[in-house]
Each structure stands twice: as C-alpha cells, then as structure tokens.
Amino acid sequence: MQIVYNTESFSDKIREYKTRGNKITLIPTMGNLHQGHRVLFSKAPNSSIKVATIYVNPLQFNNIDDYQNYPKSLQTDLEVCRQNNISLVYAPDGDVSDEIVTEKSIDLPKFTRYLCGKKREGHFLGVFKVVKYLFSIVNPDFACFGKKDYQQLLLIKYLASTYFPKTNIIDVETVRDSNNIALSSRLTRLSKESYGSTFRIYETLQNMKQELLKGTSFDKLKKESIEYLKSNDIHVEYLDVRSLITLEEETDKLKSCGIFIACHIDGVRLIDNIEI
C-alpha cells in the first residue's frame, strides 16, 4: 500500500495506474474508519485498483465546532486500509479547498434543499465540490458510497451522470451493529449511556414502516415517534417520508419511498433511513 499526502503525488500515481491499463475504484472517506468503511472497501470490484481518500472536508461543515470535533485517527485508519487491500491512500496534509476550481455558479438539484440540505446550509455544495475535485483527478471506473447518507448518494449519482458518465457508482447498504445502530464515525463521541439509546432510532423507523403499511396515518405516527424519541433524550431534527427518486415528500403513496430521520443525542447529529 502506498500513501500520498499531496495532490501532485496523488495525480502521478493515478497516471501510473492508468498507463498500465488498470481500472480504478475510488472510495472517498473522512477517516475514523469503522466496519461500514470496510464493507465499502469490500464492494470494489476485485479486478480494480482500490484507491481510498482520507480527508475531513471543511467545505461540507456548516458548524465550525462539528468540523473541529470530527474524530480523527489517521494511523489506525491507514492500518484498516492495509488490512482491506487498499493500493493507494490519499491523505492530504492540510486543507485542499484552495486547489478546488469550480464554476462561479453551481446550480445543485432541487433535492439538495430538502432534509439535511434544509438545515445544513452549504453542506451539499461542499460535498459536491470536493467529490468533483477527487473525481477530476482520478476519473474512476467505479466509486463506492453508502446508502446511510442517501441524499448524498443521490447527489453523487447526479454528479457522475453529469460530469463523469463513465464512472459507475456502487451504492452500498447501510451497515449496522448487533443492535441495528447505523454505523457512523460520530458514534465515538457519544457517552456509553447515550450510545445504548441509539438503537431506538432504527426501532422507530421500523415501527413506523410497519404501521404505514397497515394504513396508519403518517402525521399521527410522526407525532408519536418524535415524542417517544424525545422522552429518551433523542431530539428529532426531521422525520419524513420521501420519494427515493426525487426526495419529494410523500405520505399517501408509499411505493419507492423511504423514511428519513436526523436527530441529536448528546449534541451529536445522527442520520438514518429505511426503504418502505
């Protein structure tokens, strides 16, 4: 495994792979790698070179404290990459924002203004900029992204189809622990007690799904679910039924829909979703 810390070295290594005719799978991460990332790594086609990036992107944080407190564990992360047959890791030394050249005006799809985009101003613009930057260097044959960040996944698919049509986006199912907690790097910031309560998020989504399929009113379920979570110190930011294609709100037609949630526990923001 090779590790590069600047864009020039990264570009040189990618050029070498391409000259040899290798196909490349790109797996962008923000580090603090866990089992969810291992699964992302495992979904890369075996015939391709696996390239991972480890970079906490400041452009996608709307809260400076969240950015500064984002968990970092580079040496451990590099060992995880070694164990998972990553050939090349790009871990920039500093902030690469100045290297990112983008259009003066970027018109993102309407769906980026919903859910996380509604509360986190500039978040998806930041994601768009850094992923487009990485794609422009690598022009990957494949790229792996998880369904837990479903809204982000839709944006990546839009980006690929618009600017990198030869890149195949591989979406990977949400990875959960034995209590069905969606794995997230932010979980490491929770107290043991709070971590023990987070199973209620997925439990709530599952209960809502079952009741919706029975014909129970969504508004009634939403009110009860928010109250239940609040009583367990989980504060809901949003809880919606949305189209899996457009992310438009849906409460009557459940086909091709999912239930999406963002909530806060111990000041840590967590997201999850399930398909109906």
Q: Do 167 and 197 fall within a single domain? A: no
Confidence class of residue 109 from pLDDT cuts 50, 70 and 90? very high
177 part of a folded domain: no
Per the structure, the count of domains in the chain is 2
pLDDT in tens, 61-78: 888 878 887 888 999 999
Q: Do 29 and 163 fall within a single domain? A: yes
Q: Do 99 and 130 fall within a single domain? A: yes
Confidence class of residue 108 from pLDDT cuts 50, 70 and 90? very high
Question: How many angstroms from the chain centroid is the CA of residue 12?
Answer: 27
Q: Do 144 and 225 fall within a single domain? A: no
Determine the pLDDT at residue 106: 83
pLDDT in tens, 195-245: 999 999 999 999 999 999 999 999 999 999 999 999 999 999 999 999 999
Q: Do 100 and 220 fall within a single domain? A: no
Domain around 17 = 2-172
Element of type H or E holding 230: helix 218-231
Residue 102 in this model has a pLDDT that exceeds 80: no
Q: Do 117 and 201 fall within a single domain? A: no
Residue 183 in this model has a pLDDT that exceeds 90: yes
List the 268-275 sheet strands across, edge first.
235-243, 257-265, 268-275
Stretch 39-51: mean pLDDT: 96
Cα–Cα dist 111/132, whole Å: 18
As a whole number of Å, the end-to-end CA separation of the chain is 41
Determine the pLDDT at residue 85: 95
Q: Do 82 and 196 fall within a single domain? A: no
Residue 21 in this model has a pLDDT that exceeds 80: yes
178 part of a folded domain: no
CATH no. for residue 138? 3.40.50.620
Show which of 172, 198, 232 is a domain's final residue.
172
Confidence class of residue 161 from pLDDT cuts 50, 70 and 90? very high
Name the β-bridge partners of 257: 243
179 part of a folded domain: no
pLDDT in tens, 248-267: 998 778 889 999 999 999 99
Q: Do 200 and 166 fall within a single domain? A: no
180 part of a folded domain: no
87 part of a folded domain: yes
Q: Do 164 and 56 fall within a single domain? A: yes
Cα–Cα dist 125/118, whole Å: 12
Show which of 172, 201, 236 is a domain's final residue.
172
Q: Assess contact for 91 and 74: CB atoms under 8 A.
A: yes
Q: Do 153 and 241 fall within a single domain? A: no
135 part of a folded domain: yes
Token pair, residue 112, equals 């980026």
Per-residue b/e over 74-90, b at no fewer than 16 CB within 10 Å? eeebbebbeebebbbbb
234 part of a folded domain: yes
Q: Do 12 and 146 fall within a single domain? A: yes
What are the catalytic residues? 37
Show which of 172, 199, 228 is a domain's final residue.
172
Residue 59 in this model has a pLDDT that exceeds 90: no
275 part of a folded domain: no
Q: Do 152 and 42 fall within a single domain? A: yes
Tell me the average pLDDT of the chain.
94
